[in-house]
Chain A
Amino acid sequence: MGELAGEKHAAYILKVEKKKDNLEAVIMEHLRINGAYWGLTTLDILGKLEAVDQETVISWIMSCQHSSGGFGGNEGHDPHLLYTLSAIQILALFNKIETLDIDKVSSYIASLQNEDGSFSGDIWGEIDTRFSYVAICSLALIKRLDKINVENAVKYIVSCKNLDGGFGCTPGAESHAGQIFCCIGALAITGSLHYVDKDLLGWWLCERQTKSGGLNGRPEKLPDVCYSWWVLSSLIIIDRVHWIDKEKLVKFILDCQDTENGGISDRPDDAVDVFHTYFGVAGLSLLEYPGLKAIDPAYALPVDVINRIFLH
């Protein structure tokens, strides 16, 4: 089996961070703050977070905050829950959550909860369980879960539970590993996992492992490294991860590395990107690959960061 080229991946991330003018960077400008979260968390898992200038990052993040309290994907962009979570997560990594005006951010997030408990991503009203996760995770990290109606939020998520045990974007939507992670994560954070049929969902999830050892996101689809996070973290949260072949998955992730130039791709020999680099490394951390910091499967941040927040 190959090895994790940790140094190369750290160098790749730092390189991407600096390149702001090529096509790839420009086309991703609208979600740069997500990219920052993926990159920085990967560096922390690899034990290389000090390579980044904390102050520069934090001041740029704060510049992405909108007058409403929410954060945009980049400076001058409209606010949305997706970017707000990344902002909070990055500040948590640096142990600088106190930089935030907690009341302002939490009010923004809470204002997006609807009567049925669901969350809109922003003022334009798109509803999706991804946003339920984002809202719950964000508020939990800044210790303001009390600002929303948790019972209704849980009720809405449970209404998106399907007959195969999985979860979709909205009630009746097909089960998808990404949505499942969001729902399971949100239910975990709110102590509501008793609503989950762990055996039924666990079997659906473990059957995501294909012959190559990689995981797909739903039946009859191709494996992709990002599912090493979404499927894996869900399995860990419900304690069914022993139902997959962990070694085969490790091998699949390692095979998706570009060991020359750094970075990890969705499938072996495809082009690399920061997104898949993060999910590959985070997946390996969940699989207890040696030398990596442990990552928390529900909050998607290193365990020591979570312990620092909740065990004091």
Chain B
Amino acid sequence: MHGRPRKPSTPVDENASSLKANKLKSLQSQFLHNHHNKIYTEEALKINEKLIEANPEFMTAWNYRKLAFEDRIQALIDEELRVVENALRKNFKSYGAWHHRKWVVSKGNTSTEREIGLLNKFQQLDTRNFHAWNYRRSIAELKNIPDEKELKYTTDMIETNFSNYSAWHNRSVLLSHLMEKKVEGYLQKEIILKEEYEFVRNAVFTDPDDQSGWFYHLWLLDQTVKVDMPTLVSSWPPHGSDINQVTFPIILYFDEPVEGVSSHTVTVQTENDIFKNVTWNPLSTNKFKCAQAWMTHLSIPHEEVNSSKKVQVKVSSEMSDGIISLSGVTSSRPWSFGFTVSVCQNPQPAEGQNRRLSYADESFCTVDTNSNSAGLLTSYFESKTSDYEQSTSSKWKSEMIATEIDQYRDMLTWAESKKIGKLTLARLLTAYDAVMSTGAPDTANMEEVLQLYTELMKLDPAHNQYYMDEYSLALLKQVTSNKESLLKYCWQYKESTSSNITDSLCLRLNNLSLSRIGSFERLLWVQSLDLSHNELHSIEGLEALQLLSCLNLGHNKLSSFMALDPLRFLKSSLKVLDISYNEIGAHTIDTRRYLCSSPMSHTLDYDSKFEEFANGDANLVNFWDAYSIFGGLNLTQLDIVGNVAVDERFVLFLAKLLPGLEWLDGEELN
């Protein structure tokens, strides 16, 4: 007690003092009673308030207020939870109700058991209620329920009724987490996958028409096959080859899109360090600088051009932090490849003497296997992928897939519904070839895959085009699997029109009912490509073929100019293009628009110079698309007849865009 003067107390003082004392004592004893009995009524709070005003140093009184506060909050929380539960009974799919519950739970103490109990009730009523599953995940995170416990819940739900995609989905999420975080008991991928394959087999075999297990099985297969980091699978020039160009591209082809390819991460070495400032460019439309194929253009400097000398070039990547996949995995295995460049000057092609290039059968003859181009092809196949990546062939992968193959072959003997069995078997056979790192794929497997997709087209006609695309990819894999099969499709031009073009082989993949193209890693050497008379509506991936100078896409199903977007990347090489008899202009919906550079996807700025070219023409969009694709191409020969979009005005527009054009639709231009 401080600052009170000393003076004797009078009887009046003493009386007042003792009154005060009694009042305070009464308050205190009432308060303590309330406190010990956890009474937090309004009246009790008022008593406490009076006490605290009189004696703010009474700690217990403040503690009581905190307890009262928490109690009131708890009452509020309980009330809100009750209101939410009632609302959910009326509509258990209400976003607003579930969010409110989540919000309330974040405000204070709630019982885990209560929330899990509520969830179990709702999830039994509707096992697919994704709101409940989402809420369950947020509670698990909030209350630190271990992943293993939630995994057991999915096991229980699936064992009760395997037709529960939501449970399978959650299972895949939890297992991924456990494997990623390297939790005890989940370290050996092999063992986990084996158990999961067995687990999902029950679902798929019991009711093959129920989709719940299909996608889970596909995920397991992907987990089995996938390599742990991005890998270089192919290049141009191929390892060990000899090329004789003064100017040439180097193409790096990875197994998935990557970022970070630059002169810091990839070195191009020569004896006298003749290549300065090498810049690598991603062959893709996005602004994020990632692509599956990267390239650079190199020129032997004038001083080095010497008829007897060969320049040795080594391309390598040593740095571990450089090249990254889209999911953030770095390519830390070093790779390298080497080739030589003979630098004698090539004779210049005669100017203005170009005859029109024709793809008619009569223009071709069989390949001279001793020619330069055939030789290049040989070196392509002789340099095996083992030069690029030292993959650790995991025996468990091929064994696991082989077991699955046996299981599904067996299933096809007794299951009535064959669709998922055949589709899975086709995928398993393809996967088996992928994990067997020893060179060429198994021919028997490839034949069987083609057969399965053919059967699936009849079995499941609604998804006919899906199987057609898979068939096309498998066919191209087969065609490009070895030199012998590929040479069957290679032809030589009989007459020369321009020595650059006709010295090379023409890969003729026409009339094969191809609805899709692939296997680009084995086609980087192609300079002349005939894909006419097929069913192609997209040429995605073609941008990797940086040597392409002649391309025939006539008689296909290209339905917009945007479908030609990959040609943007072939500006320096492409000279001859045939897109006659396609469906450009015949469709109101463009399915390639967002996969290509355009202002709508913020991957290309609108170029107002276009308006000068278009001259105020009415059919703006077709012209804009054509302008952004063709403007910049240096074509000498073009065929576009047979497309709805191509009328007289359009032809004039094109002629302005392509000043170097000599042949248009078979007619020589002046």
Q: Interface of A with B (CB < 8 Å)?
A: 124-126, 128, 140, 145, 162-164, 168-170, 172-176, 188-195, 200, 202-204, 206-207, 209, 213, 218-221, 236-239, 241-245, 248, 285-286, 288, 294, 296-299, 303, 306-307, 310-312
CB distance from B93 to the nearest CB of A (A): 12
Please tell me which one of the listed residues A162, A200, A298 contacts residue B594 in the complex, with CB atoms under 8 A apart.
A298
Contacts of B290 in A (CB 8 A): 194
A-B contacts, 5 of them at CB < 8 A, read A173-B134, A191-B286, A241-B591, A297-B594, A312-B606
Interface of chain B residues 261 through 316 with chain A (CB within 8 A): 284-288, 290
**Is B466 part of the contact surface with A, judged by Cβ < 8 Å?**
yes
B465-506 interface bits toward A, Cβ cutoff 8 Å, 1 = contact, 0 = none? 110010000000000000000000000000000000000000
Contact assessment for B600 and A174 in the assembled complex, using a CB-CB cutoff below 8 Å: no
| Pairwise interchain contact B601-A191, C-beta atoms closer than 8 A | yes
Which of B99, B133, B257, B287 meets A173, CB within 8 Å? B133
| Contact in complex: A288, B589 (CB < 8 Å) | yes
CB–CB B211/A173 < 8 A = no
Q: Which residue of chain A has the shortest Cβ distance to B106 in the bound complex?
A: A125
Any chain A CB within 8 A of the CB of B47? no
Min CB gap A106→B, angstroms: 16
Decide if B165 touches A218 in the complex (CB within 8 Å): yes
List A contacts of B463 (CB < 8 A): 206-207, 209, 243-245
Chain A hits for B573, CB < 8 A: none
List of 6 A-B pairs having minimum Cβ-Cβ separation, nearest first: A191-B603, A219-B211, A294-B588, A245-B462, A188-B594, A243-B466
Whether A190 and B602, one on each chain, are in contact in the complex, defined by CB atoms closer than 8 angstroms, is yes
**A163 CB contacts on chain B under 8 angstroms:** 169, 172-173, 176, 219, 222
| Residue contact B595 to A220, C-beta cutoff 8 Å | no
Contact A126 B592 (CB under 8 A): no
Q: Which of B148-200 contact A (CB under 8 A)?
A: 163, 165-166, 169-170, 172-173, 176
Q: Which of B133, B173, B218, B288 contacts A194 (CB 8 A)?
A: B288
Q: Given A164-B169, A172-B137, A220-B163, check contact A207 B589 (CB 8 Å).
A: no
B286 with A170: CB separation less than 8 A = no
- Cα of A311 to Cα of B602 in the assembled complex, Å: 12
**B326 on interface, CB distance cutoff 8 Å:** yes
Kindly state the separation between the CA atoms of A220 and B166 in the bound complex, as whole angstroms.
11
* B99 and chain A: residue at smallest CB distance: A126
Q: Tally A-B pairs: CB < 8 A.
A: 152
- Nearest to B134 among chain A residues (CB) is A173
CA distance A238 to B590 in the complex (A): 11
- Name the one of B130, B169, B537 contacting A242, with C-beta atoms under 8 angstroms: B537
For B103, list chain A residues within 8 Å (CB). 124-125
Q: Inside 8 A of A172's CB, which chain B residues have their CB?
A: 137, 170, 173
Q: Is the CB of A169 within 8 A of B134?
A: yes
Given the known A-B contacts A220-B163, A220-B211, A236-B589, are A310 and B595 also in contact in the complex, defined by CB atoms under 8 Å? Answer: no
Given known pairs A162-B169, A172-B173, A244-B463, the reply for A288 and B595 (CB within 8 Å) is: no
Is B621 among interface residues, defined by CB-CB distance under 8 A? yes
Which residues, 49 to 100 on B, are CB-close (under 8 Å) to A?
Answer: 95, 99
The smallest C-beta distance from A167 to any residue of chain B, in angstroms, reads 12
Q: In chain A, what residue has the closest Cβ to B557? A: A242
B326 / chain A contacts, CB cutoff of 8 Å: 194-195
Cross-chain contact B466 with A203 (CB below 8 angstroms): yes
CA distance A307 to B625 in the complex (A): 12
Residue B620 is within 8 A (CB to CB) of chain A in the complex: yes
A279 and B130 alpha carbons, distance in the complex (Å)? 23
Mostly helix, strand, loop or mixed at chain B's interface? helix
In the bound assembly, the distance between CA atoms of A169 and B133 in angstroms comes to: 11
Q: Are A168's CB and B130's CB within 8 A?
A: yes
Given contacts A126-B99, A163-B176, contact A311 B621 (CB under 8 A): yes
CB closest chain-B residue, reference A235? B591
Given the complex, which residues of A lie within 8 Å of B589, measured CB to CB? Answer: 236, 285-286, 288, 294, 297
Residues 568-591 of B, flagged 1 when their CB comes within 8 A of A and 0 if not, give 000000000000000000011101
A174 touches B592 (CB 8 A): no
What chain A residues lie within 8 Å of B210 (beta carbons)? 220
CA distance A168 to B173 in the complex (A): 12
CA distance A164 to B515 in the complex (A): 24
Pick the contact of B130: A173, A236, A303, A312 (CB < 8 A). Answer: A173
- Please give the distance in Å from B252's CB to the nearest CB on chain A: 17
Q: Indicate if the CB atoms of A170 and B134 lie closer than 8 Å.
A: yes
B218 to chain A, nearest CB (A): 8
User: Bound state CA distance, A307 and B619, in angstroms?
Assistant: 12
- Is A221 touching B621 in the complex (CB atoms < 8 A)? no
Q: B461 near A174 (CB under 8 angstroms)?
A: no
B236 contacts A by Cβ under 8 Å: no
Bound CA span A218–B288, Å: 31
- A262 vs B462: C-alpha distance when bound (angstroms): 29
Q: Are B130 and A176 in contact (CB under 8 A)?
A: yes
Q: Give the CA-CA distance A162 to B603 in the complex, in Å.
A: 26
User: Inside 8 A of A192's CB, which chain B residues have their CB?
Assistant: 286, 288
Report if A174-B462 is in contact (Cβ < 8 Å); known contacts: A193-B594, A237-B594: no
Q: Which of A128, A169, A174, A311 contacts B166 (CB 8 A)?
A: A174
User: How far is it, in angstroms, between the C-alpha of A174 and the C-alpha of B465 when the chains are bound?
Assistant: 27
Contacts of A189 in B (CB 8 A): 600-602
Chain B neighbourhood of A213, CB < 8 A: 462
Find the B residue at minimum CB distance from A298: B594
CB distance from B461 to the nearest CB of A (A): 7
Which A residue sits closest to B102, measured CB to CB? A126
7 additional contacts, CB 8 Å, given A191-B602, A218-B128? A163-B176, A172-B173, A173-B130, A189-B601, A243-B463, A311-B599, A311-B624
Residue of B nearest to A175 (CB): B169
CB distance from B151 to the nearest CB of A (A): 13
Kindly list chain B residues whose C-beta atoms are within 8 Å of the C-beta of A209.
Answer: 462-463
B215 within 8 A of partner (CB): yes
Q: B538 at the A/B interface (Cβ < 8 Å)?
A: yes
Complex CA distance for A171 and B615, rounded to whole angstroms: 50
Chain B, 103-140, contact with A by CB distance < 8 Å: what is the 0/1 string? 10000000000000000000000001010011001000
A160 to chain B, nearest CB (A): 11
A residues less than 8 Å from B462 (CB atoms): 209, 213, 244-245, 248
Contact B285 A191 (CB under 8 A): yes
CB neighbours (8 Å) of A299 from chain B are: 600
B206-223 CB mask vs A (1 if < 8 Å, else 0) is: 000011101100110010
When chains A and B are docked, how far (Å) is the Cα of A191 from the Cα of B604? 9
Inter-chain contacts of B624 with A (CB < 8 A): 311
Chain A residues within an 8 Å CB radius of B538: 239
Is A311 in contact with B620, judged by CB distance below 8 angstroms? yes
How far is B317's CA from A84's CA once the two chains are assembled, in angstroms?
50
> Quick one: which of B315-335 are within 8 Å of A by CB?
326
Nearest-CB residue, chain A, relative to B464: A245
Residues A288 and B587 in contact in the complex (CB < 8 Å), given A190-B601, A244-B463, A311-B606: yes
**CA gap between A213 and B463 in the complex, in Å:** 11
